[in-house]
A and B are shown apart, each in its own frame.
Chain A
Amino acid sequence: MPTRKVPGVLASFVHIDAACDAIRSLQGKGRRDFTVYSAAPNHEIEEALGITNSPVRLFTLFGGLIGCAAGFGMTIWMSRDWPLLVGGKPIAPIPPYVVMAFELTVLIGAFSTVAGMMFLAMRDGTPGLAYDPAFSDDRIGIFVPAGADQAGTLAELLRSAGATEVRHDA
């Protein structure tokens, strides 16, 4: 089933400061629901948007902890499941099992980081927003969801901030 398009105004910017001005103007009008596109992460845009740290680190932390526990748990349990006593040495010694615990910490930590990133990006994103291929090249895009009644005012606001191109996607 095709994704339903979200009606709104799509503006394209060449200049970074113009895009940041537009973001601040939209925020000044009480808008928080707009989407900014850029070809690379940019600190000025992040500051203008007031972006906070991503919770993806919690996925990394818990994934790593689960991996560490799984590494020790697997090796200790498997050693004890069929105890072979060799030369009076411990059945389940910890130092050699640190290797397995370390590897699984990294492995599960990496997987959960990627899973967390995908989950959070999908949770925060909205499907069906207008997009322009120039945004992955050298333009900054701002999409503001809006009906036909608000489109004119928003287009004017974005143009006055310095947008080089503004279009209304119904």
Chain B
Amino acid sequence: MAATVHHAQTHADVTRDVVATLGTPGRGYNLMLAAAVSAFLIGAGTFVMLLKDGLGLAGYSPPVMWSVYITTFVFWVGIGHAGTLISAILFLFRSPWRTAVYRATEAMTVFAVMTAGLFPIIHIGRQWFFYWLLPYPNSRWLWPNFKSPLIWDVFAISTYLTVSTTFLVVGLVPDVGAARDKMTGWRKQVYSMFAFGWKGTQHQWRHYTRAYLYLAALATPLVLSVHSVVSWDFAMSIVPGWHGTIFAPYFVAGAIYSGVGMVLTLLIPLRKALKLEHMITEYHFDNLCKLTLLTGSILFYAYAMEYFVAWYSGNTFEQTTFWRRAFGPQWWAGWTMIICNAFVSQLFWFRKVRTNLTALFVISIFINIGMWFERWVIIASSMANDFDPWAWQVPVPTWADWGILLGSFGWFGMYFLLFARTFPVVAIQEIKEMIPMPRKGGAH
């Protein structure tokens, strides 16, 4: 227990330290926010060009009609998996190490899924008709095709975004109440509004704790289902390299792996910027690394199994696709994916690596790069090497692809940074729950 709540020994310490993060931001924070907003503006400008000139700018060319945008969509959905895994699944398992990190990861989830949600809209071409995805009939009274995995995906992602946001907001209520009680002036008014009348009475706790438990129970299968449904966007088709029964667990493991990678990328600088080193400690990073090691090893197995199944199937198309992944024109993308995901994660067997924050940060960047490339390899390279060799292509992203990709990082970073300064980024109430209250006579 001492390891999870390092120097914050009393309830008052916890409130003071976390509420202090809501003060006036420093120069480093402002620079990061400025960088994020600039990146977002580049993305927004690119999107305006796409609206004006169409998807031709993005280098879409048959047979590669799913390229950087769908790759980035799957990448961000994947990033969104670690948050709810840590906040919901580890809550049900009563893992004490989740407490200090779950709020930041949950916020990361919500903003990552918000970012992912932009991509199908960007990708569809006539973006102003995105509402056709909603379940209402067209002009001939024909309803959406619910047998299509693309419609499953719309439901899965919207449900995940809604439930994750609900879970985040519900978790925030007692902490915003605590922040309200430390604020003055207009900020007190604003926090009072978001505290929804929270006072911490026995009636509120009684219903709140049970509701939180049931929300966690509902969110748990959702975490596992969302990336399964995303994987079926591919696996339900017969494209070589996509049509695999292992796709659902393979994608879920990959999603958690990439999500934890992004958690490391965000938390290492954030704890320093917000002076939370005594709350988010080596102990938390050590556990996050173990989770990364587990999911990275599952990925290692899945990669090996994909190649094995391609060979064992005796299917020429499948074998050719996998041969070209490793030795074709985009071999470097295939090997980036394998090295960054399957091999780099194995470094976490060593405790020295798990407790070295500089190494962790560098590795987390490799994980992010590796996981983007995993989706690129699966999506673009499979489409590029379809059944007709005469139509094969080498997909080459254009400036419009890179602009939107950069913009997505800006959009995500902007929301995350604004959140980290506006709401308690560490769960005050749950940390307090772990610190024994003082007893008469000085005992804890």
Contacts and interface: CB of A to CB of B under 8 A. Distances in A.
Given A40-B433, A54-B210, A100-B146, A121 B162 contact: no
B163 interface: yes
Most buried by B among A51, A60, A117: A117
Interface string A95-137: 0110110111011011101101110110011000101011111
B204 interface: yes
Contacts of A84: 142
A6 interface: no
Interface string B411-438: 0000000000000000011101100011
Interface string B191-224: 0000010011111111111110011001101100
A69 interface: no
Interface size class, chain B? 35 or more
B207 A41 contact: no
B147 A111 contact: no
Interface stretch (B152-160, B282-290, B326-334): B152-160
A170 interface: no
Contact of A39 (B11, B137, B207, B222): B11
Nearest to A43: B433
Given A36-B202, A41-B209, A56-B207, A114 B170 contact: yes
Most buried by A among B204, B211, B222, B433: B211
B10 interface: yes
Contact of A64 (B146, B196, B218, B437): B218
Summarize A's interface: helix, strand, loop or mixed: helix
Nearest to B208: A117
B368 to A, nearest CB: 28
Interface size class, chain A? 35 or more
Nearest to A95: B147
B208 A137 contact: no
B80 interface: no
B214 A125 contact: no
B129 interface: no
A138 B199 contact: no
Interface string A49-91: 1010110110010001000000000110011011010000000
Contacts of A103: 152, 155-156, 159, 225
B15 interface: yes
B215 A136 contact: no
B141 interface: yes
Given A37-B200, A114-B215, A116-B211, A137 B12 contact: yes
A38 B202 CA distance: 8
Nearest to A49: B202
A128 to B, nearest CB: 11
A84 B142 CA distance: 10
Nearest to A16: B437
Contacts of A114: 166, 170, 211, 215
A116 B15 CA distance: 29
B275 interface: no
Contacts of B141: 81-82
Interface of B: 10-12, 15, 135, 137, 141-144, 146-147, 152, 155-156, 159, 162-163, 166-167, 170, 174, 177-178, 180-182, 196, 199-211, 214-215, 218-219, 221-222, 225, 229, 428-430, 432-433, 437-440
**Shortest beta-carbon contacts, A-B, top 10:** A133-B181, A117-B211, A124-B203, A138-B11, A78-B143, A16-B437, A40-B432, A54-B210, A136-B178, A138-B12
